[in-house]
């Protein structure tokens, strides 16, 4: 029986082909090759193709995006002419709707919807121990914040889009002013 290319490479004891590494780690084959060429992932060439030691694949962890901080950033104070404002919303997740909430958030991300005019940053967090509540933070610089009517219209659209998964009736919404930041 003829061996397929993958079967042939898989038969090398303790080694796996690039395709298998990509599938296992969850990255593209091109990205695996980039890690091999950078020296981040050890590999050997066999018959013109790379194979990676199985243990190296299992130990491999993708670097988080961006640089790793060597020390914490210093505290800073905003320019006195600009205030940093935060809208904080703590909203219960409706029972059994956690998975649908995550799907809807993925759609927001993919479609770049609900960007809230003038926001500098937006965050949606869930509790780590019990994902029955989300916290939504909208960060604004007061000189870029839209008028009250625009804020209310955009918040109403956001609430409507998530009404089936978030209990807005019991939500806690508050405004905060930044004092110092990093």
User: SS3 of 120, please?
Assistant: strand
Is 124:101 a contact under the CB 8 Å cutoff? no
Place of tokens 């003038």: 118
Provide the residue-wise pLDDT of the chain in tens; the chain has 182 residues.
444 444 444 468 888 999 988 888 888 899 899 989 988 889 988 888 899 998 888 887 665 556 777 888 899 888 888 899 999 999 999 999 999 999 999 999 999 999 999 999 999 999 888 779 999 999 999 999 999 999 999 999 999 999 999 999 999 999 999 999 88
Domain spans, the chain: 5-59, 84-177
What is the CATH class of 5-59? mainly alpha
Joined together, the tokens standing for residue 94 give 């409706």
84-177 adopts what CATH topology?
Alpha-Beta Plaits (3.30.70)
Q: How far is CA 140 from CA 11, 12, 65, 100, 105, in A?
A: 57, 57, 25, 28, 21
Strand partners, 52: 16
Judge if pTM exceeds 0.75: no
């Amino acid at each position: 029986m003829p061996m397929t290319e993958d079967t042939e490479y898989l038969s090398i004891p303790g080694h796996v082909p690039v395709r298998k590494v990509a599938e296992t780690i969850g990255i593209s084959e091109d990205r695996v090759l980039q890690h091999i060429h950078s020296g981040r992932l050890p590999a050997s060439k066999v018959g013109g193709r790379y194979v990676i030691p199985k243990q190296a694949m299992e130990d491999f962890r993708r670097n988080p995006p961006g640089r790793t901080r060597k020390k914490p950033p210093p505290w800073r104070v905003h320019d006195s002419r600009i205030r940093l404002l935060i809208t904080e919303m703590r909203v219960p997740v409706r029972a059994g709707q956690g998975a649908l909430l995550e799907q809807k958030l993925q759609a927001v991300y993919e479609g770049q919807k609900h960007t809230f005019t003038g926001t500098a940053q937006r965050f949606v967090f869930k509790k780590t121990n019990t994902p029955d509540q989300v916290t939504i933070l909208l960060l604004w610089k007061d000189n870029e914040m839209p008028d009250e009517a625009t804020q209310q219209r955009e918040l109403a659209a956001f609430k409507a889009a998530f009404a089936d998964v978030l209990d807005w009736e019991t939500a806690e919404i508050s405004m905060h002013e930044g004092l110092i930041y990093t």
